[in-house]
Amino acid sequence: MIGKYSELSNKFREKANDHNFLCFQYSNKNEHDLWSCICSSMDWIDVGVQYIENFQPPNRPSLLNCMEIFSFIQAIDITYEAIKSLFWVLVNNGEESKKGRSPFYEEKGCFSSIKNDAITDDKLFKEIRACCGAHPTNLHTYISDDEPKKQERYASWICAETNSSFSVMLYPNDTSNETITVNVFYAELMDYFEKRFYYLNNLIDKIDELFEVFREEKINDIIQKSSNPIEQLKILKDANADRLDNQYFDETIEQLLLFFNTQFESKENESIVENYREKLISGIDELYENIQKLEYKEMKLNKLLSPPTIDIEWFGYEYTALLAQVFENRYKRYHFKTLTEPLKKYVNFDNIRTQSELYWLITIALNIVDEQNGNKAK
């Protein structure tokens, strides 16, 4: 079963990948690839969260406890640092002067067991991390006997005798100071973690907010219209690149351009080709609306361009091989008769001069078959 923290991190990842918006906006933000920062942050949040969800507090005397507890603390730190990076990109727009800032930098009160009201929870957590493994033999710490200044100290190994807390002794460098024992409660560490981790909900809302601002701006930027389908498709291609550079829309435009630039030789096919052409022209209007409004509504174009294939042995394979040659310029042998024989009653395949013409005539025939099957079902 997926843990509650993983559930939220997955939700954030889905939102970050939604519409290709963040990738489009942040891949080159002031000559910085902040999308990579977002991806790195999401990856390390997953790492930290998975460790935290599976961590079991050790309650037996063992030196291995030190590394287990330090890894747990480090998982919290990794996750929080990643969230700060997301905050920097999404809230502070990746401004260098604001890098490393946190919405929690002034908060206090998570660690009631450590008495020093002069420092924040973030600083206290860093002190705990230092004592428990980051650099325990070289401490300059605020965790002291009620003194406001940092003290040079050395940490013992971690003592974990219960599953609710652990302790570490801090030996003084100054002989006038006393050795102190620091007790750390897992509940307080988790409180610290959760307050910061659940900020992902705020960042999800922030992505929605940023997308809506972007969307409104593009909706108000009216895309030019043309009565010439080829010209209109070129306009839409540029508009799509200026919006979210949606791959599906771009591939659809390329397919349509190929059709409208294909010469059909047979006079016998004129009527069905023209009928199909009119349907595609109508579909361009749907495509225009989706790109103009940054919507992803189902389009009739989908089925027109990719109709169901027929259930005949090898047909699907041969059709895919032809498609690879036409759209990917990748040579793949196909059997002409396997493709054309089942469809000869719908389309004339004589005098075909190009693979593009063959592909579109087969696609048109498949649309006719699908339409007839639909009528029979009614």
pLDDT band at 376 (very low <50, low <70, confident <90, very high): low
The residues, any chain, with a CB within 8 Å of residue 291's CB and separated by 6 or more, are 223, 236, 239, 240, 243, 246, 249
Q: What is the pLDDT of residue 311?
A: 86
- Region 274-280: what's the mean pLDDT? 97
Q: What is the mean pLDDT of residues 281-308?
A: 95
For residues 266-271, average pLDDT: 92
Q: What is the band of 55 on the pLDDT scale with cuts at 50, 70, 90? A: very high
Amino acid at 13: R
Res 249 pLDDT > 90: yes
Token pair belonging to 185? 């409660």
Chain-centre distance for alpha carbon 183: 40
Categorize the per-residue pLDDT at 292 as very low, low, confident or very high, splitting at 50, 70 and 90: very high
- The answer to whether the CB of 322 falls within 8 A of the CB of 309 is no
Q: Which residues pair with 271 in a beta bridge?
A: none
Cα 39 to Cα 14, 27, 198, distances in angstroms: 12, 11, 18
> What are the tokens at 89?
């990109």
Is the pTM here over 0.95, yes or no?
no
Encoded tokens for 249: 């829309």
Residues 45, 12: Cα–Cα separation, whole Å = 10
pLDDT tens for 314-373 read: 898 998 899 889 998 887 788 999 999 999 999 999 989 999 999 999 999 999 999 998
Question: What is the predicted pLDDT for the residue at 62?
Answer: 84
Q: Average pLDDT over the chain, rounded to whole?
A: 93
Start-to-end C-alpha separation, the chain: 44
Q: Return the amino acid letter for 33.
A: D
Q: What is the pLDDT of residue 244?
A: 94
Name the nearest CA neighbour of 17 among 39, 2, 50: 39
- Using 50, 70 and 90 to split pLDDT, how confident is the model at 146? low
* Structure-token match 């070289």, residue found: 138
- The pLDDT assigned to 54 comes to 96
Least confident of 11-25, 114-128, 215-229: 114-128
Say what the pLDDT of residue 378 is.
52
